[in-house]
Amino acid sequence: MIYRITKRWTFAAAHHLPTLPEGHKCRRPHGHNWTVTVALEHADLDSDGMVTDYAELGPIGAWITSTLDHRDLNDIDALAATPTAERLAAYIYRTWTTRYPWLVEVTVSETPGTTASYQQ
């Protein structure tokens, strides 16, 4: 049996996807209210009966605010100047997996009807 927890944050940021064809709406600069959800899994619970205390995940939220919120994601080198939701999910996962070894998935949503996930 595996226990799984998730924690979600939101932020606002702009981007554009310059590799898309001329005339594609996402080629132009635009913004989203993004949602990031992290998932952690473990076979055992800690002495408090948790996978990880949600409060322990606070640094991820602080990093999202300081690094991503109200930014132009095209300016972030790690996103290779084409900041798709897929690349953003991988970037967040790679940034935090060492600190949180039970991190198994990061899901990013740029609209209520779309998600992109990166898993170990």
CA-nearest of 99, 39, 91 to 67 is 91
In CATH, what number is assigned to the domain containing residue 51?
3.30.479.10
| Catalytic hit among 24, 26, 30, 86 | 26
User: Annotated catalytic, 110?
Assistant: yes
User: Annotated catalytic, 70?
Assistant: yes
Confidence tier at 5 by pLDDT (50, 70, 90) = very high
Q: What is the pLDDT of residues 15-37, one digit of tens each?
A: 999 999 999 999 999 999 999 99
Q: How many domains does the chain have?
A: 1
Q: Is 101 exposed, middle or buried (0-12, 13-18, 19+ CB in 10 A)?
A: exposed
Q: What is the pLDDT of residues 54-113, one digit of tens each?
A: 999 999 999 999 999 999 999 999 998 899 999 999 999 999 999 999 999 999 999 999
Q: What is the pLDDT of residue 82?
A: 94
Q: What is the pLDDT of residue 80?
A: 86
User: Annotated catalytic, 32?
Assistant: no
Task: Give the domain range for residue 11.
Answer: 3-119
